[in-house]
Amino acid sequence: MEFLVVIAVFAYIFYLKNYADLRSKSEKEEAGLKEGIALYTSGHTEAAFAYFEAQINASPKSSVAYLYRGLCYKAMGNRAAAARDYQAGLSFDDQVYQLHLESGKLLLEQNEIHQALTSLNSAIRFASERDPEPYRQRARAHALLDNQEAAAKDFDHAAALAATLSKMPPTGPGKTPLLDRRLLINLIMVTGTSAILVVVVKNAESIHLPYLVAVLSAISIGFAEPHRGWLLAIFQCMLLLAGYFLFTKLPESGSKQELENFCLYGSMILTLAASFLGAFLKRALNMN
């Protein structure tokens, strides 16, 4: 049984590493390209272009790399190459709203208004109310088509959306919302590992296996949630107490009771400590 428990814990870690990340493909790409994005946004266009050129050579299906190389091309005055990069990026991931937005802006500059509207409609659909710029650009397109009512509606919506977004707390590294779908999924997984740990505590012949399982599960908690792992660790400790005292029978033997107490409370302490270790490891990996 001990072997099966260890296998289950490692399977959980494998799940966290490969399947618990609920970010979209483009969000993962953007996180991996933050160095080049910082170069572009700070005005170092040539350095950013070289960076994204290298990234595309290494990962030729990166839609975000094509987006930013296209932006670099546009900044350097090569609009035709920018348009090709936007289309290349869309061919790999057509849900990146910035690609639709930038394509629409180029089409507006070329006075291809109807084609621009098609791109801007897609940008609005995939932006999901995260950015007012697609509405501003579609308003421009409607104005060029002399559809003043639609233009005014889009301008008003863009202003209202910008005001709403300005009042929202920032998100990003270190600013993850406290509760989201990913955290809820990890809470369910922590419930499972807590149940396993209670079983291990009840069946352990020494403190070694419960402590090992507690450390491994807690490190995986910190690795999965480097900023909110403390919340999952506290939740696991509560589940351990509840599971042990509400769903198991206390042993009659005093020595067995003492062993289980050492396993239970020691596992709780290790859960809190090792979750911080897992978070540290994840941050260290992200810095490389």
- CATH number of the CATH domain containing 103: 1.25.40.10
Residue-number span of the structural domain to which 71 is assigned: 25-167
| CA 108 – CA 141 distance, rounded (Å) | 7
Asked if residues 96 and 73 have their Cβ atoms less than 8 Å apart, the reply is: no
Say if residue 141 is in the same domain as residue 225. Answer: no
The residues, any chain, with a CB within 8 Å of residue 61's CB and separated by 6 or more, are: 92
Question: Which among 103, 137, 167 is the end of a domain?
Answer: 167
Question: Mean pLDDT across the stretch 229-250?
Answer: 92
pLDDT at 22: 53
What is the tally of structural domains in the chain? Answer: 2
Confidence of residue 287 (pLDDT cuts 50, 70, 90): very low
Do residues 97 and 221 share a domain? no
Range 222-229 average pLDDT: 80
| Cα of 10 vs its chain's centroid, Å | 22
Single-letter amino acid code for the residue at 209: L
Average pLDDT over residues 269-281: 82
Lowest mean pLDDT among 10-19, 109-118, 263-272: 10-19
Cα dihedral sign, 95-97-98-104: positive
Based on the domain organization, do 120 and 197 belong to the same domain? no
Q: Residues of the chain with pLDDT > 70: what percent?
A: 85
Which pLDDT does position 150 carry in this prediction? 96
When pLDDT is averaged across residues 74-79 and rounded to a whole number, the result is: 96
Cβ atoms of 134 and 122 closer than 8 Å: no
Among the candidates 167, 193, 218, a domain finishes at: 167
CA distance 204 to 2: 9
Q: What mean pLDDT do residues 223-233 have?
A: 83
Q: Domain ends where: 105, 139, 167? A: 167
97 and 129 belong to one structural domain: yes
**Distances 288 to 14, 32, 142, 226 between C-alpha atoms, Å:** 21, 11, 46, 16
pLDDT per residue as tens digits for the range 165-223: 888 765 544 444 566 677 888 888 899 999 999 999 999 888 888 998 888 888 888 88
118-172, pLDDT tens digit by residue? 999 999 999 989 999 999 999 999 999 999 999 999 999 999 999 998 887 655 4
How high is the pLDDT of residue 276? 82
Residues 133 and 114 in one domain: yes
